[in-house]
Amino acid sequence: MSKTYDPEFHFNHKKPWLTTEIQYLKEMRGTKQLQDISLALGRTYKTVADMVYRLKKAGDL
C-alpha cells in the first residue's frame, strides 16, 4: 500500500487531532508499526510520523 494520500483510507486527512487519537498513538507506538497506526487513525503515514516527532520533542512520548 502506498503511503500517500488516498481518501478511501485517510478519512481524517487535514482534520485536527483528537485527544483519543493521540492517546491511541501513544499506546500503540511500541507494539504496532506506524503504517498500521496510520490506517487505524485514517491519517497518512507522514502525518502520524510527524505527530510522533512532535510528541517526542514535547517530552510526551
The domain in which residue 20 lies consists of 1-61
Count of the separate structural domains present in the chain:
1
d(CA 48, CA 50): 5
15-58, pLDDT tens digit by residue? 999 999 999 999 999 999 999 999 999 999 999 999 999 999 99
Place of cell 512520548: 61
d(CA 22, CA 18): 6
Residue type, 53: Y
Q: Residue 5 has what pLDDT?
A: 81
Set of cell numbers at residue 5: 494520500
Is residue 42 within 8 A of residue 11, CB to CB? The reply is yes
